[in-house]
Structures are given as structure tokens and as C-alpha cells.
């Protein structure tokens, strides 16, 4: 059911002390901690790449400061690139200018994480425990060209269509450096789902009523029928615990759920346009307008929402994959009815540093101390 990407076991334990409760000495990526409180857990190291350290046991640090959403003061962007089929991270102080953490190189190496040796559609979220939760599609669209398989797709395209992947990558971290990891085959875990074409574009949100992290993603059947389904993750974030159920009957792909007050806003893609629906429940009852929400005239997908900290403004971000070259676009709203077009990265107020042409991104938040530790660990100049 679950396959880890652990390539080899290093015969050592990495012990991090709590002598400094907030910040330690900056180190080279993959060599040591910069936030001693966040990195104080004992983890068995199994693989290092791109500054990320995979561990086979992730423990909550004993000296981790209490997580308070009111203390958040910075932003983390996750995205991927077709060229590498891998994931990347960038950070920002103001939510406008994002600086890549690894000089435009992958942080999440798809060859280490996925059954198909490639990842797409990454999403990052924070739970009420303060942990970072990352989910990604396990799919390498150039797997044949890269020598990972002998066919274009794992299964015949005539029956299963484009992609036809069935696994999602699940990862958890307390510090954006040390990560647990599982590659979860949805079809094997839940055979009652039947012969699914694919499981795409997973995202995670905390369901307060259930008291669990809810993972939701697109399932396609019969090479045409796409709906968004949800399930709940276990506490270790290594598997889904219940057979996925439909979130909405609207159809579409790439769902993103954001709670504002007592309402839940679902953005999704249909016919390569961004749509919007609203519900009183996190996992059902969504109704909405069929009109296009984004201002683009070319194909878009992968909508995600983040709030500008300290304001009542929300940013709707989407992958403008119909542009040449591709880019991300942005619109800003306070009421989820009226939107201001902010343009695309580096064509308006939104900027990138050390990277370009990002795809399918998502944003979450960090505290000032966490941001300082991240900047020190990767040794970047944060604008």
C-alpha cells in the first residue's frame, strides 16, 4: 500500500540539542540545523538532496514553540517544473517577491519520492500543530524519455488516458528541512474505488470538525469523468484512513478549499478555466457560479488561495499553462465576488528571484523566527 523512497540507510542518528531555543548556527543545506528548537527531534537520516533530508522517523521537537497563527509573518511558495518533474521552495517577507531557496534547483527530487520517479502538482499547508504538510502527484510525464519505463504511460492511454497515475506523495516536516515520506497508492489501498484512471493534484486542509488533516484530490474514471474526492490522513501523515468520497458533484479538477469565516470556498478548474463554489461544509454541499473567475483569455488550471497576512485580502493564484512561456497569474479579492487582476509573475506586482516559469504553486506561512532560520540554512539574500 505504502512505498517509501528510502534509497539507503545511513548508520547514524542525528542528534540536535536545544541549547539555543530559537536559532542556531547557519549551516550548508543538508548539513545541520539553523533552528535548534525546530530541529531538536531525533530522526534517523535516510537520504539528503537539495537541502531536504528524508527521515524514516519524524518526531515532534520537544522544545518547539507553541504554534500561534497570529505570529505568522512570512510566506513559503511550493511549485514544480516540467523540466525536472521535481518540487521547489521559495520564500517571501511580503507576499509579493519570492526568492528561491535552492538557487532555482529542486528541493524535492522526484526520483527519490515517487513510484514514477517524478512529482507534479505540489501543495503545502500548515496544520494547527504547526507542522508543514506537503502532498504531490506521483507522475512523470516524460518517464519513457527519461528511461524510467518503456511505454508513454504506465497503462494503455486508449483506456486510461493522459497520465493514468494512481499514487500520491505524502510528506510532513516541522522545519522545512527534515521530512517524513510515503508514496501512497490510492487504488491499492481502496479497491472498492474500482479501476480508476488517475489520482491527481492532492491538497491538504485541516477539518476542525473531524480533528484531522483532510486530503482531497481529483479522481478520473473512464478517461473523461473527473471529480474531487476527500479522505483523512493518519497522524503520521503516511496514509489515508478512509475510502475517498466526493467533495462536490460539480466535476472539475485541481480543487482548492479555503475557509473564510463560516464559509468554505472551493476553487477548481473546468474546461481550462477557474471556477468558484461555496459551502457551509468543508467536504460537501458546494454550489457556485459557472462563470470563469480568473481574468485570463488562455488556458488556466491549479487555483490556490493565500491570505495577505494582516489584511482582509486574499490572493487567488493559478497556473497559466496556456501562456507561452507558461507562468502563474494572480487576482486579489476581499469578498470572493470582485477580483483585481494582479497580472503574472514578473509582469506586475508579483515577482520571482532566482527562478522563473513555475507551475502549479501553493503558499503557506511561517513565523519570523522560522523565516530567519530558513534564510540562514539555505544562505539566501531575502529581498
What DSSP assignment string belongs to 49-100? ETTEEEES-----TTPPPP-GGG--EEEEEEEETTTTEEEEEEESSSSEEEE
Parallel, antiparallel, or unpaired: how do β-strands 52-55 and 178-185 relate? Answer: parallel
Which listed CATH number (3.20.20.70, 1.10.460.10, 1.20.1070.10, 2.115.10.20) goes with 71-378? 2.115.10.20
The pLDDT, as a whole number, for residue 51 is 84
Mean pLDDT of the chain: 89
**CA–CA dist 338, 334 (Å, integer):** 8
**141 pLDDT more than 90:** yes
Q: pLDDT category, 41, cuts 50, 70, 90?
A: very low
The pLDDT, as a whole number, for residue 126 is 98
Q: pLDDT category, 290, cuts 50, 70, 90?
A: confident
**CA–CA dist 292, 107 (Å, integer):** 34
pLDDT average, residue stretch 194-210: 98
**18 pLDDT more than 50:** no
**12 pLDDT more than 50:** no
Render pLDDT for 143-170 as a digit per residue (tens, 0 to 9): 999 999 999 999 999 999 999 999 999 9
Q: Tell me which H or E stretch contains 255.
A: strand 253-260
Asked which of 4-13, 38-47, 164-173, 222-231 is least confident by mean pLDDT, the reply is 4-13
Q: What is the CA radius of gyration of the chain?
A: 20
pLDDT average, residue stretch 111-115: 96
The pLDDT, as a whole number, for residue 23 is 33
Asked whether the beta carbons of 160 and 24 are under 8 A apart, the reply is no
**CA–CA dist 205, 222 (Å, integer):** 28
Q: Which three cell numbers stand for residue 75?
A: 510566506
Prior bond to 325 cis, omega within 30? yes
The fraction of the chain above a pLDDT of 90, given in percent, is: 83
pLDDT average, residue stretch 290-301: 96
- Vertex 51, ends 47 and 56: CA angle to 5°? 30
The pLDDT, as a whole number, for residue 350 is 98
Q: Which three cell numbers stand for residue 83?
A: 523540466
Q: Which three cell numbers stand for residue 216?
A: 482531497
The pLDDT, as a whole number, for residue 45 is 58
DSSP, residue by residue, 135-193? EEEE--TTTTTTTS-SSSSSS-HHHH-S----EEEEEEESSSSEEEEEEEEHHHH-GGG
Q: Which three cell numbers stand for residue 131?
A: 507542522
**CA–CA dist 119, 99 (Å, integer):** 21
Q: pLDDT category, 235, cuts 50, 70, 90?
A: very high
**11 pLDDT more than 70:** no
The pLDDT, as a whole number, for residue 289 is 78
Which residues, at least 6 apart from 190, have a Cβ–Cβ distance to it below 8 Å? 240, 243, 244
**192 pLDDT more than 80:** yes
What does the longest C-alpha to C-alpha distance in the chain come to? Answer: 60
Q: pLDDT category, 253, cuts 50, 70, 90?
A: very high
The pLDDT, as a whole number, for residue 49 is 65
Q: Which three cell numbers stand for residue 158?
A: 486508449
Phi, psi of 306 (to 5 degrees): -135, 155
**27 pLDDT more than 80:** no
**CA–CA dist 374, 363 (Å, integer):** 15
**CA–CA dist 193, 187 (Å, integer):** 7
Q: pLDDT category, 313, cuts 50, 70, 90?
A: very high
Q: What is the pTM of this model?
A: 0.90
Q: pLDDT category, 383, cuts 50, 70, 90?
A: confident
Asked whether the beta carbons of 315 and 332 are under 8 A apart, the reply is yes
Query: 120: which strand partners?
Result: 137
Q: Specify the length of the chain in residues.
A: 383
Q: Could you give the 3-state DSSP secondary structure of residue 371?
A: helix
Nearest in space to 318 (alpha carbons), one of 293, 346, 353, 282: 293
The pLDDT, as a whole number, for residue 46 is 60
Amino acid at each position: 500500500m505504502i512505498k517509501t523512497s528510502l534509497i539507503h540507510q545511513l548508520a547514524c542518528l542525528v542528534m540536535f540539542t536545544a541549547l539555543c531555543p530559537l536559532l542556531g548556527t547557519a549551516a550548508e543545506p543538508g548539513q545541520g540545523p539553523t533552528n535548534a528548537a525546530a530541529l531538536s527531534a531525533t530522526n534517523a537520516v535516510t537520504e539528503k538532496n537539495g537541502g531536504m533530508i528524508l527521515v524514516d522517523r519524524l518526531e515532534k521537537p520537544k522544545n518547539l514553540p507553541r504554534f500561534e497563527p497570529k505570529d505568522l509573518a512570512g510566506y513559503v511558495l511550493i511549485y514544480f517544473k516540467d523540466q525536472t518533474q521535481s518540487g521547489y521552495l521559495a520564500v517571501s517577507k511580503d507576499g509579493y517577491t519570492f526568492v528561491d531557496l535552492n538557487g532555482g534547483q529542486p528541493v524535492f527530487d522526484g526520483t527519490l519520492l515517487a513510484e514514477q520517479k517524478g512529482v507534479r502538482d505540489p501543495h503545502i499547508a500548515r496544520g494547527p500543530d504547526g507542522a508543514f504538510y506537503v502532498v504531490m502527484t506521483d507522475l512523470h510525464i516524460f518517464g519513457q524519455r527519461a528511461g524510467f519505463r518503456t511505454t508513454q504511460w504506465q497503462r494503455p492511454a486508449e483506456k486510461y488516458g493522459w497520465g493514468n497515475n494512481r499514487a500520491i506523495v505524502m510528506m510532513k516536516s516541522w522545519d522545512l528541512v527534515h521530512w517524513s515520506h510515503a508514496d501512497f497508492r490510492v487504488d491499492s489501498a481502496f479497491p472498492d474505488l474500482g479501476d480508476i484512471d488517475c489520482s491527481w493534484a492532492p491538497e491538504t486542509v485541516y477539518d476542525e470538525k473531524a480533528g484531522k488533516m483532510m486530503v482531497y484530490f481529483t479522481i478520473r474514471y473512464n478517461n473523461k469523468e473527473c471529480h474531487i474526492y476527500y479522505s483523512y490522513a493518519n497522524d503520521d501523515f503516511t496514509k489515508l484512513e478512509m475510502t475517498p468520497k466526493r467533495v462536490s458533484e460539480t466535476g472539475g479538477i485541481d480543487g482548492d478549499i479555503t475557509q473564510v469565516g463560516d464559509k468554505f470556498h472551493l476553487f477548481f478548474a473546468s474546461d481550462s478555466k477557474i471556477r468558484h463554489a461555496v459551502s457551509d461544509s468543508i467536504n460537501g454541499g458546494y454550489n457556485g457560479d459557472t462563470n470563469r473567475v480568473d481574468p485570463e483569455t488562455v488556458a488556466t488550471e491549479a487555483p490556490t488561495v493565500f491570505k495577505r497576512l494582516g489584511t482582509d485580502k486574499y490572493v487567488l493564484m493559478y497556473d497559466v499553462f496556456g501562456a507561452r512561456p507558461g507562468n502563474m497569474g494572480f487576482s486579489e479579492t476581499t469578498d470572493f465576488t470582485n477580483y483585481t487582476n494582479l497580472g503574472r509573475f514578473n509582469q506586475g506586482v508579483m515577482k520571482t528571484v532566482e527562478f522563473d516559469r513555475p507551475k502549479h504553486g501553493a503558499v503557506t506561512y511561517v513565523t519570523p523566527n522560522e523565516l530567519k532560520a530558513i534564510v540562514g540554512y539555505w544562505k539566501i539574500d531575502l529581498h
